A and B are shown apart, each in its own frame.
Chain A
Amino acid sequence: MIRLVRVELQRLFSRRLTLFTSLGLLVITAVVIFGTAHDAKPLSGQELTMAQQSFEQAQKDWKLHGAEMVKECRKAEATERETDPTVNFGCDMQAPTWANWGKPAVELQRALPDTLQIGSYALAFVAFLLGAGFLAAEFSTGSMGNWLTFEPRRLRVYGSKLLAAGLGVLAPAVVVLALLVGSVWIICDAWGSTAMPKGWGPPLLMALRVLALTAVAAVAGAALGSLVRHTAAAIGLAMAYLVLVEGMFVNSFLQPQQPWLLLKNVEAWVAKGTTFFLDECRVDQAGNYMCAGVERNVSFGHGTAYLAVACGLIVLLGAILFRRRDVA
């Protein structure tokens, strides 16, 4: 088995698709880093001057009209409360402070998890593509039949290919994560703060979870590749799911089902839990149709179990069919 895995790893790294995909991954990484840098970039001198002028103007306005504004606000609120006692106009206004103007400096402890989260999607998608193509190409070129005349134990063959896909993507993933972490650190060091009050433990664990997600995506892709036996079909299925389910239906009738959709669980796994908003609509006593966004949680445990079961099922189904199906 180890020998087979070694051979499959050799094959994986000899494929041109692996090379091109890895280059594509580097491009995506560069774009993510550029985005982070763009968001973190401090204001230019001209922007700072404009913000300063705007702040000073707000201070002047507050001094001249602040008390009157609060008074008017409270009066309007009281009038409204005669019909609806729950209404709140937010009249406890404060004098303007500089923190509400300008741009807050970037902090490593916040920027790093955000960047890793974005990176995790790119890595998982690319790993899925590599895995799917890795197995499907063998069927479409017909070389699977040739391979099985050398090693007819199908489950070993299947296992070695999936294992190689999962292990093989770890190397480019480590490079990408190192680039992301290093770049964000440099950006924060230059334009913000690199302080990590909670230490490096949480982001490192998050990076490890991203690595695990990447391996799982490659394994699932390989299993799907063996099921559909064509790279384009596997990619087509994945794209159709992402566009239709995660892109369109999630905002309509699938909104309440978000805890059972892939991306939300990926997010829950990587970020150790996540939230989503659900529109809860009702008709009140006055007969008005009202909707309010309610925040719901998807726990880390839920995400972990979901990904484990989903990947386990596809691998199991792939194994059953790989063992039984005729090979042309």
Chain B
Amino acid sequence: MPSTATELAVSTRGLRKTYRTRRGRQVAVAGLDLDVPVGGVHGFLGPNGSGKTTSIRMLLGLIRADAGTMRLFDREVPEHLPEVVGRVGAIVESPKFFPAFTGRKNLSLLAEAIGAPSTKVDEVLDESGLGHRGKDRYKGYSLGMKQRLAIAATLLKSPDLLIFDEPTNGLDPAGIREIRNTMRSLGSQGRTVLVSSHILGEVEQVADTVSIIGHGRLLASGRVSDVIGAGSAGGVRVGVSDPRAAIQVLTAAGLSARPDGRLIAVDGVTDGAEVTRRLAHHDLWVNELVPVRADLESVFLQLTADDTLEADARAQVEEVAR
């Protein structure tokens, strides 16, 4: 049953995980504060190696956190994980089932383990479009079918929170679209879908809220529109016959203009008419005007690039200190 709107589905504070490797200690998650509101789709974004999967594994009790607290539906985990695990369905990285068993057998074992009726297996198989392939061995499934089976497995619990970790990895465009629709549909049913990904377009299309992490720390969080708004004010790209003169005119007018190929990029401008008016005053006639809409990708790249620079700087400071 969907929870109240005041509740957080997921909350972490100061979450930290360090792995010991041959080359010393590697910080995977460095004090992550993450809030995922109940209901809708929440994108969990970060470049590869930023700590998304490690964070999810810690939430699910698969690996131990070194420090910090985690809560699922206001219950501290992993201590109280058994109390809330029935409300959580998760696919971590690629789907993993017994290869020699049929899809149906794999689901039947899971259903029986949680006390779900056997009819639920057929129900979720049909729901995920695998009803006709349930008797085939899992190892013969395509990647898309494996992903669908994993989603079917999560639905055995009728969960309030679904955690999908890179759900479209390796899928063809049709598979990606299918997974996206499934996530959107689950989110619109009042369930909370936490989808981790490094593919921005995919998340932007389905997510209501988003958290962006880099080097194991939270970089930005909020509604998708707010995060985009805070990260970039948009702009226009202008084509003129004399770009150098146009840049001088626009810079003199206090606008941020720079060459961008054969065009000029004017940042921070939402009204293109202002640009054309100023150029026309100097007999510079615009032959092309392209509004540049800020998107999650540009915000993401900006945030993670800044974070990389900061991380490098921190590493240099630590090196000097040593």
Contacts and interface: CB of A to CB of B under 8 A. Distances in A.
A152 B63 contact: no
A326 interface: yes
A149 B85 contact: yes
A141 B63 contact: no
A137 B82 CA distance: 24
Nearest to A146: B96
A148 interface: yes
24 contacts: A4-B113, A10-B112, A11-B98, A15-B100, A16-B100, A137-B98, A141-B96, A141-B97, A142-B96, A143-B98, A145-B62, A146-B97, A146-B110, A147-B110, A148-B60, A149-B92, A150-B85, A150-B110, A150-B113, A151-B85, A152-B85, A326-B62, A327-B62, A328-B62
Interface of B: 57, 60-64, 78, 81-82, 85, 88-90, 92, 94-101, 105, 109-110, 112-115, 153, 157
Contacts of A142: 94, 96
A299 B96 CA distance: 48
- Most chain A CB neighbours (cut-off 10 Å) among B78, B105, B113, B115: B113
B164 to A, nearest CB: 12
A248 interface: no
B105 A14 contact: yes
B1 to A, nearest CB: 19
A3 interface: yes
A14 B81 CA distance: 30
Contacts of B113: 3-4, 7, 147, 150-151
A60 interface: no
Contacts of B64: 324, 326
A10 B112 CA distance: 10
A146 B153 contact: yes
Interface string A1-14: 00110110011001
Nearest to B96: A142
B106 to A, nearest CB: 8
Chain A interface size range: 20 to 34
Contacts of B100: 15-16
Interface string A145-176: 11111111100000000000000000000000
Interface in A33-89: none
Contacts of A3: 112-113, 115
A249 to B, nearest CB: 33
Closest 5 pairs (CB-CB, A-B):
A142-B96, A326-B63, A152-B81, A327-B62, A152-B61
A142 B153 CA distance: 15
Contact of B101 (A6, A14, A327): A14
A57 B112 CA distance: 77
A145 B99 contact: no
Nearest to A16: B100
Nearest to B54: A326
A143 B96 contact: yes
A137 B101 CA distance: 13
A215 B208 CA distance: 54
A152 B78 contact: yes
Given A149-B92, A152-B81, A141 B98 contact: yes
Nearest to A142: B96
A143 B78 CA distance: 20
A16 B113 CA distance: 21
Given A14-B105, A142-B96, A150 B114 contact: yes
B92 A152 contact: no
B16 to A, nearest CB: 14
B18 to A, nearest CB: 12
Interface in A290-328: 324, 326-328
Contacts of A328: 62
A10 B82 contact: no
A148 B62 CA distance: 7
B78 to A, nearest CB: 7
Given A3-B113, A146-B153, A326-B64, A152 B82 contact: yes
A118 B153 CA distance: 45
B306 to A, nearest CB: 31
